Each structure stands twice: as structure tokens, then as C-alpha cells.
Amino acid sequence: MKTQKTLIFAVLTILLAACAPAAGEMHVIEPWARATPAGSTAAAYFQLHNSTGTSDALIGVSSTVARAVEIHENISMQTMQAEGSHDMGHDMSGHAVEEAMGHGNDVMTMRPVERIEIPNNEMAVLEPGGYHIMLIDLQTDLVAGESFEMVLHFENTEDITVMVMVRD
Ligand SMILES: [Cu+2]
């Protein structure tokens, strides 16, 4: 009986060590991008969990797979018009076309943002229809099942290199 308890305790300890975010770190969770051919524009997504102890912000991303990399947000045309913004960002190519099929007669568009805030002990979520990383003019095919490197730049935390999984 004692042996069993010890074993269960050992297993639990290993599980907790694997799941619990270590203190003082920025965690990048499940980075992925949709399979996209070279020459077009792809989007990449992930979640950030800030347990660094201070608020931080994602301020840039770089990758050799694309000619340019930008941080974008999707917003509705109505919101953009209400704000009086004329910054339309890039053309509605690639994944944006699907997302242009908006709710009712409102159409989604997107625009570059300079930063995504990640308050201490909170998550920032990049997902279809929201914030995303725009990989502009892919220099190589993004093939499902393969992965590529992306480097995330933060205001406070040092650069983090992640492997982005390509999915269909
Ligand atoms: Cu975009």
C-alpha cells in the first residue's frame, strides 16, 4: 500500500511539473499556421501566457519563411469606419477572403497593430477572427505536417524562438 501511494505521488509530481508554468516565464502555447503556398500570405496563431511577474507586450515577430511579418487584428468594417480609420492594411488576399464573409452585412477586415498587451498572469490569444501574425509573401510553401521557426520579440522578455506547426 505504501509503495502504491509513493508511486501515485511520483506520477502526480511528474504531471504537475509538465503542466504547471514555471514562475518567471513567458509561455507560447500551440503555435500553428495554415498550409499555404509560396508567394501568398499566411496567418499564424498561438497563445501567450505571461507568468513573468510583470506585464509585457508582444512588439514584433520575425521569420525567414516570409518577406515581411506583421502583427494584425481582425475588426469589422463598421468598427473601422466608426473610428474614422483609412488604414486598410494589405489587400484581402489569402485567408482574409474567407473571413470577409462576415456576419449579416458587416464585413471583416484587418489592420496592422504595433503591440499586443499581455498583462501579468493573463493570456493573450491569437486565433482566426482575432489577433494573428501575418506572414506576407511566403518565400517557401507551408506544408501540412511540417513546421517552421518564428522569433517573437517582447517589450521586456527576451526573444523566444518557437516551432510553428503547419496544419490543413
Ligand atoms: Cu492579417
User: What pLDDT score was predicted for residue 147?
Assistant: 98
Give the pLDDT of residue 56: 98
Ligand 1 centroid to 87 CA: how many Å?
A: 13
- Centre of ligand 1 from the C-alpha of residue 97, in Å: 11
Distance separating alpha carbons of residues 9 and 5, to the nearest angstrom: 6
Whether 155 is covered by a domain: the verdict is yes
Q: Residue 146: which CATH number? A: 2.60.40.1890
Q: Is residue 156 part of a domain?
A: yes
| 158 Cα–ligand 1 center, Å | 25
In a domain, 91, yes or no: yes
Expressed in angstroms and rounded, the spacing between residue 45 Cα and the centre of ligand 1 is: 11
Q: Is residue 3 in a domain?
A: no
Domain count, the chain: 1
Residue 31 domain flag: yes
CA of 61 to the centre of ligand 1 (A): 13
Cα(129) to centroid of ligand 1, in Å? 10
Look at residue 148 and tell me if it is in a domain.
yes
| 11 located within any domain | no
State the distance from the centre of ligand 1 to the C-alpha of 34, rounded, in angstroms: 13
Its domain, for residue 76, covers 24-167
- State residue 43's pLDDT score: 97
What is the rounded CA–CA span in Å between residue 158 and residue 162? 13
- Whether residue 117 is contained in a domain is answered as yes
Ligand 1 center to 55 CA (angstroms): 25
Give the three-state DSSP class for 70.
strand
pLDDT of residue 82: 85
Note down pLDDT in tens along the chain; length 168 residues. Answer: 455 555 555 555 554 455 454 558 999 999 999 999 999 999 999 999 999 999 999 999 999 999 999 999 999 888 888 887 555 544 444 444 444 444 566 788 999 999 999 999 999 999 999 999 999 999 999 999 999 999 999 999 999 999 999 999
In Å, how far are 89, 152, 166 from 149, measured between CA atoms?
25, 10, 11
